[in-house]
């Protein structure tokens, strides 16, 4: 009997892991998002996916880090929309989708450095990210802020330990009122670690997972606005920030 109970628990555990992994995959992303057109060129080099306006790109570009374990393609619609608004957007694929180890983080840092130094020389770059990606973006800004034109933190309670309150670069923080993974109370408790002039963008009805295009997020609340609406409001907030840098 105990043997069967053990087997049931193992199967149930494996099934739950498979369920979680399955939900981190990109969902509802049209194949056209990854195709170059007369408006946007898409350049996929493996570690990076660039969305470049076909016409002359405006001011600062965006370097973006995905959420932890989330399929990077889940953020392609957002980054393409940024490019369609006239701003170069670069999606960085994190090592093992999370960059947990020091070695993986160094690899990630080198990818960010490579974009900021070599992609479109002379362009200023804003670093952004969602969830775990935002936490890593905050860490990079704390260590290498002088190399950035700005920082965009989406759906995160970070910085939690690092103090960016004296950071000289402009910072924007975007959050949803229905985000129960990075909930507003925890986020506001860390507000003192950001500059007093941080731009706070509150999106009513937005939850955590709809900042990307993927499935179920453990611990999240249901959004009261559509994914398309949340995507549009996020794009508008980010492009407005890029315009000023």
Domain segments of the chain: what residues? 2-243
Residue 54 has pLDDT above 80, yes or no: yes
Q: Locate all alpha helices (DSSP H) within the chain, ordered by sequence.
A: 2-23, 76-84, 102-118, 132-144, 184-189, 227-243
Question: Phi and psi at residue 117, in whole multiples of 5°?
Answer: -95, -30
pLDDT tens digits, one per residue of 195-225: 999 999 999 999 999 999 998 888 999 999 9
Average pLDDT rounded to a whole number, residues 224-240: 97
Determine the Cα–Cα distance for residues 207 and 131; give it in Å rounded to an integer: 12
Residue 9 has pLDDT above 60, yes or no: no
Average pLDDT rounded to a whole number, residues 93-103: 90
* Furthest C-alpha separation in the chain: 70
Residue 105 has pLDDT above 80, yes or no: yes
Going from the C-alpha of 170 to that of each of 37, 109, 147, the distances in angstroms are 32, 20, 12
Out of 131-135, 186-190, 206-210, 221-225, least confident range? 186-190
Residue 20 has pLDDT above 70, yes or no: no
CATH of 2-243, one of 3.30.110.40, 2.30.42.10, 3.40.640.10, 3.40.50.1820: 3.40.50.1820
Give pTM, 2 decimals.
0.92
């Amino acid at each position: 009997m105990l043997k069967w109970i053990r087997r049931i628990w193992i199967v149930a555990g494996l099934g739950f892991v498979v369920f979680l992994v399955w939900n981190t995959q990109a969902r509802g992303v049209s194949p056209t998002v990854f195709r170059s057109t007369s408006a946007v060129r898409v350049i996929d080099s493996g570690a990076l996916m660039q969305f470049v306006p076909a016409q002359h790109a405006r001011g600062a570009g965006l370097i973006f880090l995905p959420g932890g374990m989330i399929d990077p393609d889940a953020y392609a619609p957002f980054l393409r929309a940024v490019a369609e608004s006239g701003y170069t957007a670069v999606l960085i694929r994190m090592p093992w989708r999370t960059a947990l180890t020091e070695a993986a983080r160094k690899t990630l840092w080198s990818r960010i450095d490579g974009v900021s130094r070599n992609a479109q020389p002379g362009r200023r770059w804003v670093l952004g990210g969602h969830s775990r990606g935002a936490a890593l973006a905050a860490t990079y800004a704390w260590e290498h802020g002088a190399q950035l034109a700005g920082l965009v933190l989406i759906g995160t309670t970070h910085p939690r330990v690092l103090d960016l309150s004296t950071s000289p670069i402009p910072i924007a923080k975007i959050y949803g009122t229905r985000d129960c993974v990075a909930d507003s109370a925890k986020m506001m408790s860390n507000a003192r670690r950001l500059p007093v002039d941080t731009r706070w963008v509150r999106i009513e009805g937005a939850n955590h997972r709809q900042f990307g295009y993927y499935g179920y997020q453990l611990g999240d609340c249901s959004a009261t606005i559509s994914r398309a609406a949340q995507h549009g409001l996020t794009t508008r907030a980010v492009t407005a920030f890029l315009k000023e840098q």
